[in-house]
Amino acid sequence: MATTGTPTKLTQKTQGGIGESTLRPDGTLKVTGEFAYSSDMWHEDMLWGQILRSTVAHAEIVSIDTSEALAQAGVYAVLTYDDLPTEVKNYGLEIQDTPVLAHGVVRHHGEPVALVAADHPETARRAAAKIKVEYKELPVVTDEASATAPDAPLLHPGRDDHHAGHVPHPNIVHRQPIVRGDADEAAKRADVIVTGEYTFGMQDQAFLGPESGLAVPAEDGGVDLYVATQWLHSDLRQIAPVLGLPEDKIRMTLSGVGGAFGGREDLSMQIHACLLALRTGKPVKIVYNRFESFFGHVHRHPAKLWYEHGATRDGRITHMKCRIVLDGGAYASASPAVVGNASSLSVGPYVIDDVDIEAIALYTNNPPCGAMRGFGAVQACFAYEAQMDKLAKALDMDPVELRQLNAMEQGTLLPTGQPVDSPAPVAELLRRVKARPLPPERQWESTEGADVRALPGGLSNTTHGEGVVRGVGYAVGIKNVGFSEGFDDYSTAKVRMEVIAGEPVATVHTAMAEVGQGGVTVHAQIARTELGVSQVTISPADTQVGSAGSTSASRQTYVTGGAVKNSCELVREKVLEIGRRKFGSYHPAWATAELLLEDGKVVTDGGEVLADLVDLLEDEAVEIEAEWRHRPTEAFDLRTGQGNGHVQYSFAAHRAVVEVDTELGLVKVIELACAQDVGKALNPLSVIGQIQGGTTQGLGVAVMEEIIVDPKTAKVRNPSFTDYLIPTILDTPTIPVDVLELADDNAPYGLRGIGEAPTLSSTPAVLAAIRNATGLELDRTPVRPEHLTGT
Amino acid sequence: MRVNFTVNGRRQEADDVWEGESLLYVLRERLGLPGSKNACEQGECGSCTVRLDGVPVCSCLVAAGQVEGREVVTVEGLADYAKQREQSACGTGACGTSLQDAQQWSAKGSDSHTGEGTELSPIQQAFIDAGAVQCGFCTPGLLVAADEMLERTPSPSDEDIREALSGNLCRCTGYEKILDAVRLAAARQGNQEATV
């Protein structure tokens, strides 16, 4: 692993510190079935909540009759919009445009209309089915043309959010242009120009643990809420006004989270469970089934992308123009920030001085779209990487060499004018995936005939090798890390150190949502490294400690990891103060040397032991709760897109090797190699796991994953794992990973956020490989068999 | 209705079971065994995999009434099950629990927060060691399926592993570490047999 400088002095005397592949503290509970996920919550006397959702995408609600549902035995409450307790009836991450329950109108298929609480989930389901809702259907808008037509029905007439003033049409959530240099003038220097129109399908996060939680009414009139979420404090900020309760009366605790990938940034069942619990005075549990989960969270924005690139004969890119249209669906969710990412990262990891960029997100009657791993950068990467291959072909150049020739480096300016001020090893990552030996050809051949398991179609036995062609494709991408555009992206950590049973023990308490990424593992490693103790207790995440920000944007190891490191340093200072007070007169080093905590002792940087932490602390406990922030960022200028909007970048490259049965249009990905710069691998095992997982989600949207929305009715046609396919172990190839560690000197330990970058380049690499195998243009993802067979 | 069956070697009786309830619902909501997970309720994801008379099944697709008089093993009983198999050298895995063992069974003391002190089966330990657990929601079903595969096929090829686990979806890991874990468990099992 290559390394350029480590910004922090590290000692590794204490076992289990950063850089080691320590095992998950929740691992044992997760393999024995004892780990309590939000859907496992149980309370004596609890009721089950059920949500009635709209069966149409856009309609006026003429009437709702709940009488028959209420009359069912076992039903405790049925709630509609009229039962909401306060004047605040909407919520939302940035724009509060999402109704808790529909009021007079539904704007998308599956919108919550009414709630039921009953003593058995089936009773609740059947009662919900007995609620009579009369709809008067309205015309739907489903794409840019219908949404921005002069007579288009407005999704949110009279909207007054902070984007309303600068958008060209009220059905556009947000628009971000970025103009730098003079693309038209630069185009005149181009020897070749390539253009393309690309389509990105609607992807679902498809986390395996459906939305769920338990709300328990408390004696003080408040509520205790146990949920799976990505950001407890953001939930709390949105829940409290709707319930009409002060935030301190809603005590939230993170339950076990069965994956997230962006799909738990928005609220799902939180307010509904609280409303039912407060109404009935009983604990209420809500668990979505898979069908409902497809309606219960936002998806990745489907997109249309128009791109133009030019280059001189020697392969230097002259300019880029693009227009990115993201479909945000009926409510804003994270659309404005997705627009910011898509536009500011639309150039990719390349040096292009003259650009003309526009990105917008639409309001339509399609399902709401928002955060998913890669967040706007994924759609752009799919398109600009297709363009790179087109450009290489037009220039008769090797596609990797073209990319390397134009690759961004440290110091390159983004189209926003912001310099990339940490290592950007784009050319090196490409070199690494290309240098890897290719998997042998025709691996299915053996002396006993074809092993169909190694062929497209597998045990379906659709080919023994006839009609099968191989292709290889490359892609590279850039993702921002952390919340951008001036957001105050802080985290809070409470760290306590004391002697328990004759041993120094550190306790780390944050509100970070552990969704599977392994943040809890890393927090313990940081505490061991900084405080020199081997015993670290991770307290459950709740709202009794300050906000940790969201588990998204690849930010938690950077920001909450940074907060834990910072609080540990503050605790260490206090511990050393106690030491100086108690023992300072016995040894001059207490005043003169740089002191460290290692292996339960205070030592000098020369290694001399000054005191045992047990003797130093005795029965004293040291505790610090402190906020920590990364460097501030700025908003992008609304007209030019200029501004230092990002904190950090993450780079990954992929090489895909595929085999395609051209007769049936079946694709088998043989290998999907990745190289990624992670800055510093705090836990190498977890780093590899993140890269392989992200790569596989990118593979999914390349060849199988898409929510199909009927363009005439805006209704979702495949809300199940029977019809929405995610990769199985048979669909997933070997994923060799090459990890670089080039430190970002601005970040704790030099680390980089890693979770999202591999999801970007995986998809275009697979598409490039399929194009290489088949010679087809393929301008949309996912690729379906009919796109390959032309039937 | 009332359903009598054996779960993890103990006789169980579930009362007031509605005819439409699945085995998964009875395990999770009536018997206090939430280890088996509900992620799709239509047999596509494998998160609810348990063994019914030794055969891996999606418990969401088994009506509770169908298990009357039969034996079920869930992830909660996997460690005991593997231990018994090792001691009795029961190759088929359908050897059940002796009356004596059943009477002596009691909940083991373990750290409720971290699970320290818990005795694990080889496949459970391998999942932890190989980094095959992230969010963990697919893990119980995968463990039951992988354990059954290793019982049948002690030295599986990668193709064998992929085929056996193709009914279990995982969204976090990209499956590479799951393959590593099964290979690791198979290797450890092989070493153990070699030293016997």
CA A42 vs CA A126, A214, A231, A323, A514: distances in Å: 22, 8, 23, 50, 21
Confirm if A774 and A788 have CB atoms less than 8 A apart. Answer: yes
Q: Do A720 and B171 touch (CB under 8 A)?
A: no
The Cα–Cα gap between A671 and A736 comes to 8
For chain B, say whether A28 makes contact (Cβ under 8 Å): yes
For chain B, say whether A692 makes contact (Cβ under 8 Å): yes
Mutation target vs B (from A264, A294, A720, A729; most B CBs, 10 A cutoff): A729
pLDDT at A244: 98
A516 closest CB neighbour out of B129, B136, B140: B136
Q: Do B115 and A34 touch (CB under 8 A)?
A: yes
B3-74: CATH topology is Ubiquitin-like (UB roll) (3.10.20)
Residue A6 has pLDDT above 80, yes or no: no
Query: What average pLDDT does range A308-334 have in this prediction?
Result: 98
pLDDT at B92: 45
Could you tell me the two tokens for B77?
């009983």
CATH class, range A38-138+210-257+264-296 = alpha beta
Strands of the sheet with B10-14, listed across from one edge? B10-14, B3-7, B71-73, B49-52, B55-58
pLDDT at A437: 98
Return residues 250-279 of A near B (CB < 8 Å).
256-261
* Residue showing tokens 């999801």: A759
Query: What average pLDDT does range A645-659 have in this prediction?
Result: 98
For chain A, say whether B180 makes contact (Cβ under 8 Å): no
Q: Name the residue of chain A whose CA is nearest to B44's CA.
A: A721
CATH class, range B77-94+111-195 = mainly alpha
Give me the architecture of the A27-35+490-629 domain, per CATH: 2-Layer Sandwich (3.30)
Residue A11 has pLDDT above 50, yes or no: no
Q: Name the residue of chain A whose CA is nearest to B180's CA.
A: A734
At B97, the pLDDT band (50, 70, 90 cuts) reads low
At B90, the pLDDT band (50, 70, 90 cuts) reads low
Residues in B touching A521 (Cβ below 8 Å): none
How many CB pairs below 8 A link A and B? 191
For chain A, say whether B171 makes contact (Cβ under 8 Å): yes
A30 closest CB neighbour out of B139, B170, B177: B139
- Centre a 10 Å sphere on the Cβ of residue A197 and count the other Cβ atoms it contains: 12
For chain A, say whether B152 makes contact (Cβ under 8 Å): no
Residue A246 has pLDDT above 70, yes or no: yes
Residue A10 has pLDDT above 70, yes or no: no
Return residues 79-138 of B near A (CB < 8 Å).
79, 113-116, 118, 120, 124-125, 127-129, 131, 133-138
Query: What average pLDDT does range B36-63 have in this prediction?
Result: 97
pTM: 0.95
pLDDT in tens, A421-453: 999 999 999 999 999 999 999 989 988 888 999
Residue B112 has pLDDT above 50, yes or no: no
pLDDT at B110: 44
Helices A232-243 and A270-280: angle between axes, nearest 10 degrees: 40
Assembly ipTM: 0.96
The Cα–Cα gap between A159 and B172 comes to 38
At A191, the pLDDT band (50, 70, 90 cuts) reads very high
pLDDT in tens, A612-629: 999 999 999 999 999 999
Return residues 102-131 of A near B (CB < 8 Å).
120, 122
At A3, the pLDDT band (50, 70, 90 cuts) reads very low
Residues in B touching A35 (Cβ below 8 Å): 136
pLDDT at B117: 72
A686 closest CB neighbour out of B32, B131, B165: B131
Same fold flag, A27-35+490-629 and A422-483+646-789: yes
B115 closest CB neighbour out of A28, A260, A732: A28
For chain B, say whether A6 makes contact (Cβ under 8 Å): no
Chain-centroid distance, C-alpha A596: 37
Dihedral sign for Cα atoms in the order A540, A542, A545, A546: positive
Return residues 522-561 of A near B (CB < 8 Å).
537
Q: DSSP string of A58-91?
A: SEEEEEEE-HHHHTSTTEEEEE-GGG--SS--EE
Query: What average pLDDT does range B11-33 have in this prediction?
Result: 96
Mutation target vs A (from B110, B133, B178; most A CBs, 10 A cutoff): B133
Query: Amino acid identity, residue A743?
Result: A
pLDDT at B96: 53
Q: Spell out the residues 6+ positions from residue A446 whose beta carbon is closer than 8 angstroms to its own.
A: none
pLDDT at B114: 56
Residue B64 has pLDDT above 90, yes or no: yes
DSSP three-state, residue A667: strand
pLDDT in tens, A534-555: 999 999 999 999 999 999 999 9
Residue B167 has pLDDT above 90, yes or no: yes
CA A623 vs CA A507, A620, B75: distances in Å: 9, 10, 39
Return residues 53-72 of B near A (CB < 8 Å).
none
Query: What average pLDDT does range A94-113 have in this prediction?
Result: 98
- Centre a 10 Å sphere on the Cβ of residue A364 and count the other Cβ atoms it contains: 28
Shortest Cα distance from B113 to chain A (angstroms)? 8
pLDDT in tens, A134-173: 999 999 999 999 999 999 999 999 999 999 999 999 999 9
Residues in A touching B35 (Cβ below 8 Å): 32-34
Q: How is chain B split into domains, by residue range?
A: 3-74, 77-94+111-195
For chain A, say whether B51 makes contact (Cβ under 8 Å): no
Q: Do A31 and B124 touch (CB under 8 A)?
A: yes
Q: Do B139 and A732 touch (CB under 8 A)?
A: no
Confirm if B72 and B27 have CB atoms less than 8 A apart. Answer: yes
At A655, the pLDDT band (50, 70, 90 cuts) reads very high
pLDDT over 90 percentage in chain A: 96
Q: Do A206 and B171 touch (CB under 8 A)?
A: yes
Q: What angle do CA A188, A194, A198 make, to 5 degrees?
A: 135
pLDDT at B100: 59
At B91, the pLDDT band (50, 70, 90 cuts) reads very low
Mutation target vs A (from B114, B127, B171, B178; most A CBs, 10 A cutoff): B171
**CA-closest candidate to residue A359, choices A325, A321, A309:** A325
Give me the architecture of the A422-483+646-789 domain, per CATH: 2-Layer Sandwich (3.30)
Q: How is chain A split into domains, by residue range?
A: 27-35+490-629, 38-138+210-257+264-296, 422-483+646-789
B39 closest CB neighbour out of A290, A727, A735: A290
Strands A192-200, A780-781: pairing kind: parallel
Confirm if B182 and B161 have CB atoms less than 8 A apart. Answer: yes
Average pLDDT of chain A is 96
pLDDT at B86: 87
Q: Name the residue of chain B whose CA is nearest to A690's CA.
A: B173
pLDDT in tens, A217-226: 999 999 999 9
- Centre a 10 Å sphere on the Cβ of residue A659 and count the other Cβ atoms it contains: 26
Q: Do B79 and A32 touch (CB under 8 A)?
A: yes
Q: DSSP string of A190-217?
A: -SEEEEEEEEEPBP----SS-SEEEEEE
Residues facing A777 on adjacent strands? none
Q: Do B137 and A454 touch (CB under 8 A)?
A: no
For chain A, say whether B163 makes contact (Cβ under 8 Å): yes
Residue A2 has pLDDT above 50, yes or no: no
Residue B113 has pLDDT above 60, yes or no: no
Q: What angle do CA A383, A385, A387 make, to 5 degrees?
A: 70
